[in-house]
Copies of this chain bind each other. A is one copy, B any other.
Amino acid sequence: MERVCLVLGAGAGIGGSVGRRFAADGYYTVLCRRTDQEGLERMVAQIETEGGRAKGHILDATEPDVIENLIVQTERDVGPIDTVVFNLGAQIGNRSVADTSYKAFERCWRIATLSLFRLAHTIAPIMAERGIGNILVTSATAAIRGNAGQHAHAAAVGGRRMLCQSLNAELAPLGIHVAHILVDGAVDAPDTLGKLLGPEAFQKLREERGLEHDGLLLPEKIAETYIHLAQQHRSAWTHELDLRAFSDQAWWNS
């Protein structure tokens, strides 16, 4: 049977690498991102070159009906969705309370929290019918501790973590595996960290900590844990785990 992996937030980082990893394992992979049609096509082409199957969509998941229609169309046109990788972040950099607008606060929540709820609301009945499915949520340490300047981000992803636990409590017995993945550290990802830092600072960071040194989380290595989670036997599921580079301090260390 066709197995589909749907990736929301398929940039050149975790999302794209996870999609490629699932494609290498035989999943038909549907890659979605908000911008960069060209980058998206490059990813699809790379997967096809490697013998996999994929397609891409440029879409804004926060728009009404977009997630809902995507799921319906994918199920109808591509095949049964086995795994959704929810990789939408809401990191907007550090801003004081005063500098965080109501609009920014709400937008973070719409992207990171409400979108996941809409996704689960739409796909849970479909997966429950089949008694199988995975919802893998990329998250950050802001989901377990707030920091100065992280008001909007922490509120959004902290709410999402509790949503994941709530979804897990209802959906796991129906055969749907919800996993919350705490990525604790800088990821070697040009489309997110690269844009946040700017090209020069990002390159400097890569040279200092990444590349030979494995001091940045490598997306293609992260992807190994995503596929492991999707393939865990239902008698031994992981709901939450952390990921960080060996040389990095855990968030709880001082």
Contact = CB atoms under 8 A, between A and B. Distances in A.
Interface of A: 96-98, 100, 102, 105-106, 109, 113-114, 117-118, 120-121, 124-125, 142-151, 154-173, 175, 177, 188, 214-218, 221-222, 224-225, 228, 232-247, 249-254
27 contacts: A97-B121, A97-B171, A98-B125, A102-B118, A102-B121, A109-B113, A144-B252, A146-B166, A146-B168, A147-B169, A150-B166, A154-B163, A155-B163, A158-B162, A165-B250, A169-B250, A216-B235, A218-B236, A222-B236, A224-B228, A224-B233, A228-B228, A234-B245, A234-B246, A239-B250, A241-B241, A251-B252
A15 B196 CA distance: 42
A143 B114 contact: no
A67 to B, nearest CB: 11
Contacts of A159: 109, 113, 154-156, 158-160, 162
Interface centre among A102, A168, A171 (most CB of B within 10 A): A168
A188 B235 CA distance: 10
Given A148-B170, A162-B145, A252-B252, A244 B237 contact: yes
Contacts of A236: 217-218, 221-222, 224-225, 243-245
Contacts of A172: 246-247
A167 B151 contact: yes
A51 to B, nearest CB: 23
Nearest to A148: B169
B145 A165 contact: yes
Contacts of A237: 243-246
7 closest A-B pairs (Cβ-Cβ)?
A159-B159, A158-B162, A146-B165, A146-B166, A241-B241, A221-B233, A148-B169
Contacts of A118: 102
Interface centre among A125, A143, A250 (most CB of B within 10 A): A250
A150 B167 CA distance: 9
A178 B250 CA distance: 12
Contacts of A245: 234-237
Contact of A165 (B154, B240, B243): B154
A148 B239 contact: no
Given A109-B113, A162-B143, A235 B214 contact: yes
Nearest to A105: B117
